[in-house]
Structure 1
Amino acid sequence: MNTSETLARLRELMGKKENNVNTYVVVSEDQHGSEYIAECDQWWAFISGFAGIYWYISPRCTDVVTKVTLVMIESSEDTHLGKHLEESSRIGINATLITVQAASSLSKNLTPSKSTLVSLPQILADQIWIDRPVLPKNPIVHLEEKFSGESHESKLGRRRDELNKKQCRAIVLSAFDEIAWLYAVVTMDSVTLFVQGGALADVDVKPYEEFWTSLKELKSEGKGDRAYTASLSDAKCWVVKV
């Protein structure tokens, strides 16, 4: 499938009743906000035909991919969208690919044009990318305390102390460095790691694909319906308050 066919198929999906968006944001991040992206998560490269992290932009780029217009912007992406979109536009994006802070900033910049940010349940590009590479399943190894500098029990204790201070029941860590430092979901009585099958031994794990289902179950066990972000570590994370 060439770029023209890919864009045509994407626009077809955008126009479907269940999506109904006239603008679609293709991000350059994965669901963990990683700096280096696995091949299976390079959505922008699949859609546009441009690969790599750093691009050399020149007028000749328009000769390479005739259906893609490269625009040099002097401001942030959300500010640019807010200024150049038609009034009352519907901008679609999959919520798992954008942080709460970024979504809030984008929505704020869309307000003057009366445009709306729409959370789509699926990544549209995934429905087109038939030969999408599989998610890497590299082995994960456990580091002894002499290498990590602190025991797992000590780390959990400090995280739970912070949860108590903030009157939160659980914290969800999504960044890979945070997951490597601790685990993925920490509550007051359990720790759960969501990972590809076969990556770990001697550790209780759940399939990577079950994360969102388990998060909903965790929420249903509580008494509230609010979600918060917090800085319990140096990187971004989700906190579910009940």
Structure 2
Amino acid sequence: MTSSSAARNQHLDELRALMASHSPPIHALLIPSEDAHQSEYVSERDKRRQFISGFTGSAGLALITTKEALLWTDGRYFLQATNQLSDRWRLMRMGEDPPVEVWIADNLSDEAVIGIDSWCISVDSAQRYEQAFLKKNQTLFQLSSDLVDEVWKDRPPNDATPVIVHPVEFAGRSVAQKMKELREKLQHEKASGIIITALDEVAWLYNVRGNDVHYSPVVHSYAIVTLHGAFFYVDKRKVTTEVKNYMSESGIDIREYDMVQLDVSLLASGQLKGSAVNGSLHMEKDINAAEHSKIWIDSNSCCLALYSKLRPDQALMLQSPIALPKAVKNPMELTGLRKAHIRDGAAVVQYLAWLDNQMQENYGASGYFSEANGSQKKEHLEIKLTEVSVSDKLEAFRAEKEHFKGLSFPTISSVGPNAAIIHYSPEANTCAELDADKIYLCDSGAQYLDGTTDITRTVHFGKPSEHQKLCYTAVLKGHIALDAAVFPNGTTGESFFQCSYDVNSCAFSRNLCLCIALCRQSFCRENYQNIAKV
């Protein structure tokens, strides 16, 4: 047993002791992957599920009972989870095993108490769990503090990286324009205000960026917008003089990050007061005067902790009105995206040409871009090419480009069998060396001020086998068919399957210098959503 495995076993024991001593006793503890903003990709200090289980994938859910430890994850991570979980854990395969709420209802006792950090679960998930728990009168209990944090003694600190104003020359639209449209939507739905919790939505609305999450230029923050005021909840240590002046000029109050729960309560009672409007102080009039005025939340991203401060009849639970305008790019954003992809494409071509040359010179490859003249692999390489070392070289090529801010996700640089592992993450100590006789897959992307990129290339620097050619061609034909397909209203993944267009793939709508996946749209058979409306 490794020292890390022994430490995690100890943490499990400590966690169960806290569950047993809690009032009321906790019979099972849910540990989601998400943070207080329901983000898929979270900061180091919010990786509670990873800390307790050792599983490092981006998606998953841990459940600790008095006797068992279970982890649910999807098909992207079955192999990775199998390799990373210790023998004290049981892997639950999403799509094959029962969902967590069904498993709890079927396997735990009547009136069992299931603990949850109410900041780390969405309203949708909480309500789905509560519905399933009715079967045995089980209770979803909102903990006053996260029990994992109590056993995580060396939890990373909350860094105070500064908020950055995102220039209008890249955003394409001012905060004033965005707020005007948002308030029109509030009035249309007869809502007095909206609580915005998704990090990329706050960043988009207020034209700000940050460095609080690796690969995603967002800042941990919330926003509340009413018909008469706007509020930005953030650690004030991150607020520079420039940001303070910018927010004041935009009519936005800056509040401490931890004040959001109190202010939601004030919003619910019609007592939330604003002070910054066009740079001048004022006392906002009652923003919730109407007896049945609604407060808009997106139940898929709003956490249970904030929702609990509203009356059930007060919450207007609809998709965020920011989702669509954020997805539909304005002309300036489209121009920026094109320029970013041209620069990024140039970096990738530079990289592949460099790598092709290295494979010919050092590994005797026949060549991808050009045929080598009878070269052979050197017996003694001064520096071996590995999955990690070559991905570092790709990052260096990108870093030379204008407006480069960093990578948009960890580079998936994979050789041979590793290329078949979805979301493979090479480690310097264990990664594979490049091989002229094996396929090389590189899935990578970058953040630029004017756009976010993601590009995958599969190459073979030697002589691919007939089977490899056949598989590669089949995938290519699927992509061409998908590109040529027409999407009439009502089209679903099932429709594509019936038309033999099933490529078992996803399309991603790209953000502008924000999270890498704005939204995912699956084209596989099991997707019954209306693709044409995405």
TM category, shorter: 0.7 to 0.9
Letter matched to residue 128 of structure 1: V
Q: How far is 1:76 from its partner?
A: 3.0
Name whichever of 154-163 and 112-121 sits farther off. Answer: 112-121
Distance in structure 1 (CA, Å) of the matches to 2:231 and 2:39 = 21
Instruction: Find out whether 1:189 has 2:228 as its counterpart.
Output: yes
Distance in structure 2 (CA, Å) of the matches to 1:167 and 1:60 = 52
Q: 1:238: which partner in 2?
A: none
TM-score by length of 1: 0.85
Structure-2 change in CA distance of 1:99 and 1:60 (3 Å): closer
Q: How far is 1:86 from its partner?
A: 2.6
Q: 1:239: which partner in 2?
A: none
Q: 1:161: which partner in 2?
A: 184
Q: How far is 1:129 from its partner?
A: 1.3
Number of aligned pairs?
233
Q: 1:81: which partner in 2?
A: 104
Instruction: Find out whether 1:72 has 2:72 as its counterpart.
Output: no
Q: 1:142: which partner in 2?
A: 165
Distance in structure 1 (CA, Å) of the matches to 2:84 and 2:49 = 16
Task: Judge conservation of contact 1:3–1:67 (CA < 8 Å) in 2.
Answer: no
Provide the secondary structure at the position in 2 that maps to 1:157.
helix
Task: Judge conservation of contact 1:38–1:136 (CA < 8 Å) in 2.
Answer: no
Q: How far is 1:16 from its partner?
A: 2.8
**Higher relative contact order (CA closer than 8 Å, sequence separation 6+):** 1
Provide the secondary structure at the position in 1 that maps to 2:152.
coil
Distance in structure 2 (CA, Å) of the matches to 1:18 and 1:217 = 29
Provide the secondary structure at the position in 1 that maps to 2:115.
strand
Task: Judge conservation of contact 2:78–2:93 (CA < 8 Å) in 1.
Answer: no
Aligned pair partner of 2:124 in 98, 101, 115? 101
Instruction: Find out whether 1:3 has 2:24 as its counterpart.
Output: no
Distance in structure 1 (CA, Å) of the matches to 2:152 and 2:267 = 32
Q: How far is 1:195 from its partner?
A: 1.4
Task: Judge conservation of contact 1:95–1:119 (CA < 8 Å) in 2.
Answer: yes
Aligned pair partner of 2:255 in 196, 206, 226? 206
Provide the secondary structure at the position in 2 that maps to 1:182.
helix
Counting aligned pairs with the same residue, the percent is 27
Instruction: Find out whether 1:112 has 2:129 as its counterpart.
Output: no
Structure-2 change in CA distance of 1:85 and 1:164 (3 Å): same
Task: Judge conservation of contact 2:50–2:56 (CA < 8 Å) in 1.
Answer: yes
Q: How far is 1:95 from its partner?
A: 1.4
Q: How far is 1:55 from its partner?
A: 5.4
Distance in structure 2 (CA, Å) of the matches to 1:31 and 1:148 = 26
Distance in structure 1 (CA, Å) of the matches to 2:81 and 2:156 = 30
Distance in structure 1 (CA, Å) of the matches to 2:147 and 2:194 = 29
Structure-2 change in CA distance of 1:157 and 1:92 (3 Å): same
Task: Judge conservation of contact 2:55–2:84 (CA < 8 Å) in 1.
Answer: no
Q: 1:230: which partner in 2?
A: 318
Distance in structure 2 (CA, Å) of the matches to 1:58 and 1:156 = 43
Task: Judge conservation of contact 2:81–2:91 (CA < 8 Å) in 1.
Answer: no
Q: 1:240: which partner in 2?
A: none
Q: How far is 1:110 from its partner?
A: 1.9
Q: Deviations over 1:76-116 (max 9, x none)?
A: 33233333333322111111111111111111222223322
Q: How far is 1:35 from its partner?
A: 1.9
Instruction: Find out whether 1:18 has 2:106 as its counterpart.
Output: no
Instruction: Find out whether 1:177 has 2:200 as its counterpart.
Output: yes
Provide the secondary structure at the position in 1 that maps to 2:92.
coil
Q: How far is 1:153 from its partner?
A: 0.9
Task: Judge conservation of contact 1:13–1:19 (CA < 8 Å) in 2.
Answer: no
Q: 1:216: which partner in 2?
A: 265
Q: How far is 1:20 from its partner?
A: 2.3
Distance in structure 1 (CA, Å) of the matches to 2:164 and 2:36 = 22
Q: How far is 1:57 from its partner?
A: 5.2
Provide the secondary structure at the position in 2 that maps to 1:70.
strand
Task: Judge conservation of contact 2:55–2:81 (CA < 8 Å) in 1.
Answer: no
Task: Judge conservation of contact 2:54–2:84 (CA < 8 Å) in 1.
Answer: no
Distance in structure 2 (CA, Å) of the matches to 1:88 and 1:134 = 37
Letter matched to residue 70 of structure 1: L
Task: Judge conservation of contact 2:113–2:138 (CA < 8 Å) in 1.
Answer: yes
Q: How far is 1:227 from its partner?
A: 2.9
Name whichever of 6-15 and 53-62 sits farther off. Answer: 53-62
Letter matched to residue 229 of structure 2: S
Aligned pair partner of 1:52 in 49, 52, 57? 57
Distance in structure 1 (CA, Å) of the matches to 2:200 and 2:81 = 36
Distance in structure 2 (CA, Å) of the matches to 1:157 and 1:174 = 19
Provide the secondary structure at the position in 1 that maps to 2:186.
helix
Task: Judge conservation of contact 1:91–1:117 (CA < 8 Å) in 2.
Answer: yes
Distance in structure 2 (CA, Å) of the matches to 1:171 and 1:188 = 9
Name whichever of 176-185 and 226-235 sits farther off. Answer: 226-235
Provide the secondary structure at the position in 1 that maps to 2:93.
coil
Distance in structure 1 (CA, Å) of the matches to 2:174 and 2:182 = 13
Letter matched to residue 50 of structure 1: F
Distance in structure 2 (CA, Å) of the matches to 1:233 and 1:113 = 39
Structure showing greater Rg:
2
Distance in structure 2 (CA, Å) of the matches to 1:140 and 1:230 = 29
Letter matched to residue 317 of structure 2: T
Q: How far is 1:229 from its partner?
A: 2.2
